[in-house]
A and B are shown apart, each in its own frame.
Chain A
Amino acid sequence: MSDAILQVRDLSAGYDERLILEHVSFEVQRGEVFAVLGGSGCGKSTLLKAILGLVRTFGGEVTFDGQDLLSAHGRERQALLSRLGVTYQDGALFGSMTLAENVAVPLEEHTDLSSRERFSIAQAKLELVGLGGFTTFLPSEISGGMRKRAAIARAMALDPPMLMLDEPSAGLDPVTSAGLDRLIARLATILGTTFVIVTHELPSILSIMDRCILLDRTARGVVEIGDPKVMHAESTNRIVRDFFDRRAEDDDLDPVRTERTTP
């Protein structure tokens, strides 16, 4: 038995009749930091939502911890999803609740903890991401980068075995972003948490990821899977070369050149 925590097989997904991803297959091993890479608009967020069953899928299979995630229903699906922490690209914090209340929502749903106990845990998770002093703040009262981190704290509320983060470091300054990378690496080694990290910013993640998958808009899916360092050094695929060379050398985002990835 392989030790894959997440298996995606032949997954096709899109919106309405429009296919964004075709025949995507990959596996994430338990405890690894797995990155989903690709330029803006190539379908990274769509892949994440397809895995969670939040967008329309046109065939394919997703297995999480040995159980089928797409065909699960009702309580079974909720139980599965509660063991999967997710952050969305824009944070998706509940605007009418304080940060501590936001983090406490999964605890309230899935544990018997008293409200004082929930608050203690929420406080600890917020401290973990450097927001210990902001428990009583509303999401609208903090910066975008802080909202990102609060969303990560909420995703970690139940200490799930796997965390899926959509663009966690976008909008963070380099120092905070590097700190976040160190936190991710530390959680992966200490708690054995598996990470699936969606990003278009290569430098921020290159140092901590074990394996990655590169998506492309024209290919409508996976271009290559593997160790990013090997891909960077050896790949002969033009799309892989374009992605790594541009981002690794000049890590500023040049919109004109980014657009040119699509001929």
Chain B
Amino acid sequence: MTSPAIADVADPTIREGSDGAGGLLLEIAGRLESRRLHGIWTRATKVLTDARKDRVTVDAAGVTYCDSSGAAMLRDLENQQREQDGSLELRNFPDEFSAVLDLLTDSEEVQKEECPIAACWPEMVGRAAVTVARDAGMLVGAIGEIFAGVAHAITHPASVRWDSMFRAAQRAGVNSLPVVLLVSGLLGMILAFQSAPILHTYGADIVLANMIGLSFLRELGPLMTAVILTARSGSAFAAELGTMKINEEVDALHTMGVDPVRFLVIPRVLAAIIMTPLLTVFANLAGIVGGFIVWSGSLDLSLPAYLNQLEVALRPGDFYTGLVKSVVFGTLIAGIGCIRGMQTRGSASAVGQSTTSAVVSGIVLIALADALFTIVFHYLEL
């Protein structure tokens, strides 16, 4: 049971009839308040559309209460009638509530805000096209700005906010270590486990070490690390900067004469540039250890044999190409995260969109860059 004031009162009623002169007469009675309007409103709407009379009279003599929602209903019925080119007359509305109707008709209490003119569709198409073009341009510009900033940071180390860089490195890098180790270790085991039977059929068990070592150093180590960092750090950067943007903290930096790119973006990008190769090394190790677990468990071969085979199979170039990749991946991840964060506009929900967009663009950029590297390394015979 809710309060007696509400529970004890019946819903308002409506009765239709003729006004004696060819018009429609609606008699409404009871309490017109938001919670009880549904039945009578729907009914009245149906009667009005079915009857399609030019003249409709609403007799409100039986109304015992009317709040501003009730007034909204009466006004809506009048509008419906007007849309059908008819008229609606309200009769016998109790004087004590007529002020409620006035609330809606002359709400000049609060100054009315003028509504800006809405755009028509050709304008919207044009605007969308301009937005896309501008976004692409902005992306290129922002990437250029970040590279310039990083170059400046390297040549002028004193200008870098190192404490903020180390904090970002800890959050983005060190804290990602467990998940990088776990995922790469498992991946190494899975890869070895899937290929061991086939290799065994051809009596090529020993090649397993080549396969694991090469695929992790050249491809899987950098790639897995990059994907994990995109999900973990790229998104975090976008969310952090996006929140600062909508809280006008970035504007505050501007007005204090502080360059937001130097203050916010460069430390994060530097942190990613340092941490991604380091994490990649750990990912490589974990993958190789994962491979060894299967090597010794499933193929029953020894550790010296595994290490020996790795030494034969791998060249320093395999290791360095992986590291070069990971440096570029790290720059892309942090760069795109920061760019999406800085592009955030509007309200808190926009932060969520920037975060998603940072992850999606991050992964796409990594895949593109990886493809490019594969081609380049192939022709350079690295």
Give the shortest distance, in Å, between B18 (CB) and chain A (any CB): 26
Q: Is there contact, CB below 8 Å, between B110 and A149?
A: yes
In the complex, what residues of B have CB within 8 A of residue A110's CB? Answer: 35
Task: Kindly state whether residue A248 has any CB partner on chain B within 8 Å.
Answer: no
Task: Kindly state whether residue A66 has any CB partner on chain B within 8 Å.
Answer: yes
Alpha-carbon gap, A2 to B254, bound state (A): 58
Most buried by B among A80, A96, A128, A189: A128
Task: Kindly state whether residue B85 has any CB partner on chain A within 8 Å.
Answer: no
Point out the residue from A128, A146, A158 that lies within 8 Å of B103, measured CB to CB: A128
In the complex, what residues of B have CB within 8 A of residue A219's CB? Answer: none
Please report which residues of chain A, range 164-181, place their CB below 8 angstroms from some CB of chain B when the two chains form the complex. 175-176, 179-180
Q: Is there contact, CB below 8 Å, between B2 and A79?
A: yes
Q: Is there contact, CB below 8 Å, between A117 and B107?
A: no
Q: Is there contact, CB below 8 Å, between A117 and B41?
A: yes
Q: Is there contact, CB below 8 Å, between A190 and B100?
A: yes
Q: Is there contact, CB below 8 Å, between A128 and B347?
A: no
In the complex, what residues of A have CB within 8 A of residue B112's CB? Answer: 130, 132-133
Assign chain B's interface to a size class: 35 or more
Alpha-carbon gap, A126 to B329, bound state (A): 50
Q: Is there contact, CB below 8 Å, between B68 and A156?
A: yes
Q: Is there contact, CB below 8 Å, between B68 and A176?
A: no
Task: Kindly state whether residue B38 has any CB partner on chain A within 8 Å.
Answer: yes
In the complex, what residues of A have CB within 8 A of residue B41's CB? Answer: 113-114, 117
Q: Is there contact, CB below 8 Å, between A190 and B111?
A: no
Main secondary structure of the interface of B (DSSP, over half): helix
In the complex, what residues of B have CB within 8 A of residue A19's CB? Answer: none
Q: Is there contact, CB below 8 Å, between B103 and A190?
A: yes
CB 8 Å contact bits of B30-72 with A (1 = contact, 0 = none): 0001110111011000000000000000000000000111011
Task: Kindly state whether residue B76 has any CB partner on chain A within 8 Å.
Answer: yes
Please report which residues of chain B, range 76-129, place their CB below 8 angstroms from some CB of chain A when the two chains form the complex. 76, 99-100, 103-104, 107, 109-115
Alpha-carbon gap, A132 to B73, bound state (A): 16
In the complex, what residues of B have CB within 8 A of residue A182's CB? Answer: 109-110
In the complex, what residues of A have CB within 8 A of residue B37's CB? Answer: 111, 113, 117
Given contacts A138-B347, A179-B110, A83 and B3 within 8 Å (CB-CB): yes
Alpha-carbon gap, A87 to B89, bound state (A): 37
Task: Kindly state whether residue A55 has any CB partner on chain B within 8 Å.
Answer: no
Q: Is there contact, CB below 8 Å, between A133 and B107?
A: no
Given contacts A114-B42, A125-B68, A130 and B107 within 8 Å (CB-CB): yes
Q: Is there contact, CB below 8 Å, between A127 and B104?
A: yes
In the complex, what residues of B have CB within 8 A of residue A79's CB? Answer: 2
Q: Is there contact, CB below 8 Å, between B76 and A117?
A: yes
Point out the residue from B2, B72, B73, B346 that lies within 8 Å of A138, measured CB to CB: B346
Among residues of A, the one whose C-beta sits closest to the C-beta of B97 is A190
Give the shortest distance, in Å, between A192 (CB) and chain B (any CB): 10
Q: Is there contact, CB below 8 Å, between B34 and A159?
A: yes
Task: Kindly state whether residue B155 has any CB partner on chain A within 8 Å.
Answer: no
Among residues of B, the one whose C-beta sits closest to the C-beta of A114 is B42
Among residues of B, the one whose C-beta sits closest to the C-beta of A96 is B349
CB 8 Å contact bits of A106-122 with B (1 = contact, 0 = none): 01001111100100110
Q: Is there contact, CB below 8 Å, between B38 and A128?
A: no
Q: Is there contact, CB below 8 Å, between B38 and A112?
A: yes
Among residues of A, the one whose C-beta sits closest to the C-beta of B76 is A120
Alpha-carbon gap, A138 to B346, bound state (A): 9
Q: Is there contact, CB below 8 Å, between A146 and B110?
A: no
In the complex, what residues of A have CB within 8 A of residue B72's CB? Answer: 120-121, 123-125
CB 8 Å contact bits of B290-331 with A (1 = contact, 0 = none): 000000000000000000000000000000000000000000
Q: Is there contact, CB below 8 Å, between A179 and B68?
A: no
Give the shortest distance, in Å, between B248 (CB) and chain A (any CB): 12
Give the shortest distance, in Å, between B66 (CB) and chain A (any CB): 9
Q: Is there contact, CB below 8 Å, between A65 and B104?
A: no
Point out the residue from A80, A96, A134, A183 that lies within 8 Å of B109, measured CB to CB: A183
In the complex, what residues of A have CB within 8 A of residue B350's CB? Answer: 140
Q: Is there contact, CB below 8 Å, between A65 and B5?
A: yes
Please report which residues of chain B, range 1-36, place their CB below 8 angstroms from some CB of chain A when the two chains form the complex. 2-3, 5-6, 33-35
Alpha-carbon gap, A149 to B107, bound state (A): 13
Give the shortest distance, in Å, between B93 (CB) and chain A (any CB): 14
Q: Is there contact, CB below 8 Å, between A183 and B110?
A: yes
Give the shortest distance, in Å, between B242 (CB) and chain A (any CB): 13
Task: Kindly state whether residue A191 has any CB partner on chain B within 8 Å.
Answer: yes
Alpha-carbon gap, A107 to B67, bound state (A): 14
Alpha-carbon gap, A149 to B113, bound state (A): 11
Task: Kindly state whether residue B75 has any CB partner on chain A within 8 Å.
Answer: yes
Task: Kindly state whether residue B253 has any CB partner on chain A within 8 Å.
Answer: no
B-binding residues in A (CB < 8 A): 65-67, 79-80, 83, 95-96, 107, 110-114, 117, 120-121, 123-125, 127-134, 138-141, 146, 149, 156-159, 161, 175-176, 179-180, 182-183, 186-187, 189-191
Closest 7 CB pairs of A and B: A133-B115, A124-B72, A95-B347, A130-B110, A159-B67, A140-B347, A112-B38
Q: What are 14 A-B contacts with C-beta separation under 8 Å?
A: A107-B34, A112-B39, A113-B38, A117-B41, A117-B76, A124-B72, A132-B112, A133-B113, A138-B347, A140-B346, A161-B5, A182-B110, A187-B103, A191-B100
A-binding residues in B (CB < 8 A): 2-3, 5-6, 33-35, 37-39, 41-42, 67-69, 71-73, 75-76, 99-100, 103-104, 107, 109-115, 346-350
Given contacts A114-B38, A117-B76, A124-B71, 11 further A-B contacts (CB under 8 A): A113-B34, A113-B41, A120-B75, A124-B69, A124-B75, A127-B104, A128-B68, A130-B113, A159-B33, A182-B109, A190-B99
